[in-house]
Structure 1
Amino acid sequence: MDSMKPLCGLLTTTPSRKYLSYVTQEVKEIFGSALAAKVRTLGPSMTRSMHRVAEAVAADPAGCAALTVTGLAERTGTSEATVVRTARLLGYPGYRDLRLALAGLAAQQQSGRAPAITTDIAVDDPIADVVAKLAYDEQQTLADTAAGLDTAQLGAAVAATASARRIDVYGVGASGLVAQDLTQKLLRIGLIAQAHSDPHLAVTNAVQLRSGDVAIAITHSGATGDVIEPLRVAFEHGATTVAITGRPDGAVTQYADHVLTTSTARESELRPAAMSSRTSQLLVVDCLFVGVAQRTYETAAPALAASYEALAHRHRR
């Protein structure tokens, strides 16, 4: 049993009531930023009228929470049907559910919490301010991604990956580093996984995939050709395909059976998208990995313990 401790502690601990209470409060606090992130992420998928509704609720949750569906339609110059469609696109069954969430957000905003560090990093910022601003943005990115992640899609991707004969992961640049991170984790729990950042090798490997295999493409923009092409090949050869992307309407999703959406904090000259996209991608691949480890626990735990043991001598003096 001792050999299974590394994974047991991670996967089987029952959360306390105090912990659950803390998580519940954190989720409530996440909502405001997550809503704004969703509006940014889903903006390209919205009509102009839907975008007006989404921007209104993100900008003034308290004011919109006080409005009926008719009132919000009048305020935004749209129709009741548009308001309802926007609520559903944002992840709510209907406007009533969105309105309740907005009311909760408004109450939280009035609770006297200290303002966050939200200004962009300036060229002359002291290093202490740089640290504080980056830490805030990283936290915001993780919160937005967690709140916006479709757990049904994640669960389906976990199930396919856990039972896969072979797993190929595609990514270039910063996304390529995330692909390597995921594959080394999967290898340590006994799965056959490869990361590909060379587009030619990615395609030639994708040709070999079949039903029962999984291909995962990681691209923040959703438009990286060197990642889309091998995913397309894998898709056409019958593999189950997964896209991890910041653009759920991006070109990569047309070849994806399952789409896992990431969010990013604001970009600036000194904080390019690759920084925050990497943070959100790492969260998603960690969620995917832990889900797979749960499903394959009987084999994953001893495999992980064996990998720890194999490396232990390198840390001995």
Structure 2
Amino acid sequence: MTNDLKEIFSARPPAPAALAAKVRTLGPSMTRSMQLVAEAVAGDPAGCAALTVTGLAELTGTSEATVVRTSRLLGYPGYRDLRLALAGLAAQQQSGRSPAVTADIAVDDSIADVVTKLAYDEQQTLADTAASLDTTQLGAVVSAAVSARRIDIYGAGASSLVGMDLAQKLQRIGLIAYAHADPHLAVTNAVQLRSGDLAIAITHSGSTGDVIEPLRAAFDRGATTVAITGRPDSAVTQYADHVLTTSTARESELRPAAMSSRTSQLLVVDCVFIGVAQRTYETAAPALSASYEALAHRHSPRTPR
């Protein structure tokens, strides 16, 4: 997968609802001048929609070229298309369909406030991820998983938990899938992969060496490779045939990226699993029924002999 973000997001201009998601997702990987433009359009879509490219450049203290580059990075052919999306986003906000972002969780918040804020952030994260998820890439990943001889999944920390979740789901419908949290085992298993196998790396930052190394080994040996990441321009995508981008709720002192990224990662792996289950329904449905029955039998009272 190339690191050219314009290729990654050039399939078609995102809908207004997806614009805010892409600003949040791509913002950290932008240059500072491009961040200024992105922050301006996300913070005041109505005001920026009324500005010409020159006006927005003057407002943000950047250049017209920077405004155009930012527009293209966000998935729009040019600034005119971005303005139309900004107008649409502003209309959504004015209609009450896009609520204001809640404040960060504070150390003295009540439990009720914590529940409300976390629930909103989780909902926003899921909506952002769904809006920015490339379904063409997702379909390709599903196809690769369906035909794979073996599926290896790499993750570290919280991402390893997501990898284990995906692996156990795939195992329950009869696929051969392994989740590797130990970096040494991940690499030694990756070098055994070949064409027809599938390797999936899960890393929000896209720069976790313990995840990149096994994916690179799998890539070098001809396996189909996938990166699930919140940074589509990061190092891990150099070794990914397919990239699935996740979004993240706003970080705070009490809620670091490892926590907020997990929600979007779980949505993506659930989409992969459901897609595979749909494509293999004739075998997946009986396998799921058998696993449910086995678990039910395990927990049912046993008749004494």
Task: Please report how far the alpha carbon of residue 38 of structure 1 lies from its aligned counterpart in structure 2 after TM superposition.
Answer: 2.3
Amino acid of the structure 2 residue aligned with 1:222: G
> Per-residue deviation at 1:37?
4.2
Residues 148-180 of structure 1: CA distance to partner in whole angstroms, max 9, x if unpaired?
212222222111111111000011211111001
Instruction: Determine which of 30, 33, 56 is the counterpart of 2:40.
Output: 56
User: For structure 1, which segment, 285-294 or 147-156, has the greater mean C-alpha deviation from structure 2 after superposition?
Assistant: 147-156
Matching residue of 1:301: 285
* Alignment-mate amino acid for residue 261 of structure 1: T
| Code of the aligned partner of 2:108 | D
Aligned residue number for residue 239 of structure 2 = 255
The one-letter code of the counterpart of 1:83 is: V
Shift of 1:128: 0.9
Which structure 2 residues correspond to residues 1-317 of structure 1 after superposition, within 5 A?
31=17, 34-112=18-96, 116=100, 118-317=102-301
2:255 alignment partner, SS class: coil
CA shift in 2, pair 1:68/1:232, >3 Å = same
Between stretches 124-133 and 292-301, larger displacement belongs to 292-301
**CA distance, structure 2, for counterparts of residue 242 and residue 93 of structure 1:** 27
The amino acid across from 2:19 in the alignment is L
Gaps of at least 5 residues in structure 1 are 1-26
Whole-Å separation in 2 of the counterparts to 1:50 and 1:138: 27
CA deviations on 1:193-235 (whole Å, 9 max, x unpaired) are: 0011111111111111000000001111211111111111111
**TM-score normalised to the size of structure 2?**
0.86
Distance 1:172 1:127 in 2: 30
**Partners of 2:22 and 2:62 in 1: CA distance:** 20
1:81 is displaced (CA, Å) by 4.6
Counting aligned pairs with the same residue, the percent is 86
Cα distance in 1 between the residues matched to 2:101 and 2:112? 12
- Give the AA of the match of 2:75: G
Please report the RMSD computed on the Cα atoms of aligned residues, expressed in angstroms: 2.3
Task: Give the whole-Å Cα distance in 1 for the aligned partners of 2:288 and 2:81.
Answer: 43
Q: Distance in 1 between matches of 2:86 and 2:101?
A: 23
In terms of mean alpha carbon deviation, does 257-266 or 174-183 score higher?
257-266
Give TM-score, length-normalised by structure 1. 0.83
C-alpha contact (below 8 Å) 2:225/2:241 kept by paired residues: yes
Q: C-alpha distance in 2, partners of 1:176/1:132?
A: 28
Aligned CA distance change for structure 1 residues 108 and 307 (closer, same or farther; 3 Å): same
- Alignment check: 8 A CA contact 1:190 1:300 kept: yes
Contact 1:53 1:86 in 2 (8 A): yes
